[in-house]
Amino acid sequence: TCDALLGRRDSARVLSSLADHHLFVVPTEGHSGSYRYHGLLADVLRSELQKDDPKIVRELHARASELFVERGDRGPAVKHALLSGDCERAAALIWSYLPIMLGLGKGDTVVSWLKHLSDGEYDRSPVFDVARMFAAVVAGDGRSTRLWLDVARRHQPTTPMPDGTLLDFFFNLGEALICESGISEMVESAHR
């Protein structure tokens, strides 16, 4: 992982040396070739790097996201895509993972991915609103489903989602799932 992020080939040797000299790095028990470092050191290093070169921080998060996608590790892939500032990539990842996560009953995990978005970031893609809407559906929370459907309506209904489906389809699906106006209205929304 370190070699992939840093573009080098000697990370294992460097980490091993740091651990041997008790320099805030220790081997992770049960994971050969894996290390962890002290949390305070991590905070200091992140802060220094952010101050010195914020662009490289975003690039490193983008690389980390790609690496986690290759490994099939959804949560970190999305987290690092969001931290890289690439909302379009994050939206595409979330959209591709959403059916799996909801099918596994992990709507709360999807919500945790999205909790740290700013209002401006939510405005960049309707995927974020629709994902929150579906997570609320899975949780059986009609009030939140309505809220996120209404929030999603800030976007144009003709906006294509990452899979090409128009957003209007999900507006109608949301209305059908909420079923606020009775069965006949639900059936009409479903037909639309």
pLDDT at 70 over 90: yes
Tell me the range of 23-37, 45-59, 71-85 where mean pLDDT is highest: 71-85
pTM (predicted TM-score): 0.76
- Strand, helix or coil at 36? strand
Q: What is the pLDDT of residue 47?
A: 87
**With contact defined as beta carbons under 8 Å apart, do 77 and 93 qualify?**
yes
Q: What is the pLDDT of residue 91?
A: 96
The percent of residues in the chain predicted with pLDDT above 90, rounded, is 56
> Residue 31 — pLDDT band, cuts 50, 70, 90?
low
Q: What is the pLDDT of residue 16?
A: 81
**With contact defined as beta carbons under 8 Å apart, do 110 and 131 qualify?**
yes
Q: What is the mean pLDDT of the chain?
A: 88
C-alpha–C-alpha distance, residues 166 and 19, integer Å? 53
**Cβ neighbours of 54 (radius 10 Å):** 11
